[in-house]
């Protein structure tokens, strides 16, 4: 999804607890509190310096970029750097279009089978 950003897999090597805390907070149901950051909320976490490239790579690796986009958009979008916002929005939109195409083709198939 975000391969066009020129991100490399080796950026994911090593521990990523801070970015993982942000990812889990963003894709969760709002109840996740960072155990390694004294129960910090997503808003508090994104107020700290973050390796946004590592975070988006992690989300892409686990195929949760649309959930990351929605979580950040709903709670702390202004804390996200503009280039990251743009990349997440592009990935979210591409995923949405892909899902609509799949739904359309599934409906067509069901009509033909009926």
At residue 16, the pLDDT reads 43
Instruction: Classify residue 69 as exposed, middle or buried by CB count within 10 Å of its CB (0-12, 13-18, 19+).
Output: buried
Contact between residue 71 and residue 65 where contact means Cβ atoms under 8 Å apart: no
Residue ranges of the domains in the chain?
3-113
CA-to-CA dists, residue 13 to 28, 39, 64, 112, angstroms: 23, 25, 19, 48
Contact between residue 92 and residue 65 where contact means Cβ atoms under 8 Å apart: yes
**What pLDDT, in 10s, does the model give residues 3-51?**
444 445 555 555 446 888 888 888 876 666 655 555 677 777 888 888 9
At residue 99, the pLDDT reads 94
At residue 114, the pLDDT reads 83
At residue 43, the pLDDT reads 78
**What pLDDT, in 10s, does the model give residues 59-91?**
999 999 999 999 999 988 999 999 999 999 999
pTM here? 0.74
How far apart, in whole angstroms, are the C-alpha atoms of residue 80 and residue 42?
12
């Amino acid at each position: 999804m975000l391969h066009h950003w020129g991100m490399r897999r080796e950026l994911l090597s090593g521990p990523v607890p801070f970015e993982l805390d942000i990812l889990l907070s963003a894709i969760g149901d709002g109840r996740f509190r960072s155990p390694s950051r004294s129960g910090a909320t997503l808003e508090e976490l994104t107020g700290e310096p973050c390796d946004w490239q590592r975070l988006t790579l992690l989300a892409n690796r686990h195929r949760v970029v649309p959930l990351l986009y929605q979580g950040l958009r709903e709670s702390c979008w202004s804390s996200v750097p503009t280039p990251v916002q743009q990349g997440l929005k592009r990935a979210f939109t591409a995923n949405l279009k892909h899902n609509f195409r799949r739904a359309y083709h599934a409906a067509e198939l069901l009509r033909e089978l009926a």
